[in-house]
Homo-oligomer: A and B are copies of this chain.
Amino acid sequence: MQIGVLGTGMVGRALATRLVGLGHDVMMGSRDAMSEPAQDWLRAQTGTASVGTFAEAAAHGELAILAVRGDVALDVVDLAGATPLKAKVLIDVSNPLDFSQGMPPVLIAHLSNTTSLGEEVQRRLPLTHVVKTLNTMNADVMVHPERVPGPSDVFVCGEDAGAKATVMSLLKSFGWDAPIDLGGISAARGTEAMLPVWLRLWQALGTADFNFRIVR
C-alpha cells in the first residue's frame, strides 16, 4: 500500500520503518524541504524510498498517518491539505500534550476533555476518514507489541466502519490481534486522556516498554 507518514520524529520514524519492513511504499513528510544529507539520514534510518513535504506525503499515500506533536498537529493538517487527503483514511496517533508548563506535561486545554485532538482533526478534514489509534503507548510498542510481555491492548475509534476495518487490518500486520473499537471519534477524548497516567507510569516503572490491557 502507498502510505504517507506525516512527521519525521521518533514516532514517524518508528512507523515508517515498520511499514517499509512490511513491504509498503512509504513517503515521509516534513514541514520544510529537508537538506539532502538530512533526507539521506532519514532514508537510511527508516528504509523509506522518499521524503517530501507534508502535502507531498499526503498525496503519495492511499492512507496517511499523522505522527507529530499535538501542539502542531492541526497546523500540519492544514499544511498537508484537505484535497490530498480527501476520501482517504488518516490514522491519527498524536496526543495533545502541553510541555510548556514543565514535566510531566498536561493536556492542551482547548484540545481535551470536552473535545479531543482526534475530533478537531476530523473537523478540519470532513471528507477524510480519521481513525484514532496507537496513541496510548510508546512508539516502539506501537509497531512491535511483542516488546511487552504478554497480550496488551490497542484502541481504535472513528466515524467510518470501513476505515476502522482498514486500520485494524494494518494493526494486525503490526501484531495487534484484537483492537478494541471504542466507537466514534469522540472516544479520542478517552484515549488521549490516558497520557497523563501513561507518563506517571513511565516514571514509576522506569521503562516505556509497558502497555494497558483491559482485563474482562
Q: Which residues of A contact B (CB under 8 A)?
A: 101, 106-107, 109, 112-114, 148-152, 155, 157, 180-183, 187, 189-191, 193-194, 196-201, 203-205, 207, 209-216
Contacts and interface: CB of A to CB of B under 8 A. Distances in A.
A10 B184 CA distance: 30
Contacts of A183: 200, 203-204
A190 B200 contact: yes
Contact of A212 (B191, B200, B212): B212
Interface of A is mostly: mixed
Contact of A196 (B193, B199, B204): B193
Nearest to A107: B113
A204 B180 contact: yes
Contacts of A180: 201, 204
B193 A189 contact: no
B216 A204 contact: no
Contacts of A209: 216
B210 A213 contact: no
Contacts of A196: 113, 189-190, 193
Contact of A215 (B106, B149, B155): B149
Contact of A106 (B114, B155, B191, B216): B114
A207 B212 contact: no
Between A107, A201, A214, the greatest number of chain B beta carbons within 10 A of the residue's beta carbon is seen for A214
A190 B182 contact: no
A65 B171 CA distance: 42
Nearest to A208: B216
A200 B136 CA distance: 15
Given A113-B109, A190-B196, A194-B197, A215 B210 contact: yes
Contacts of A151: 215
Between A113, A190, A197, the greatest number of chain B beta carbons within 10 A of the residue's beta carbon is seen for A197
Contact of A113 (B113, B191, B194, B200): B113
A201 to B, nearest CB: 6
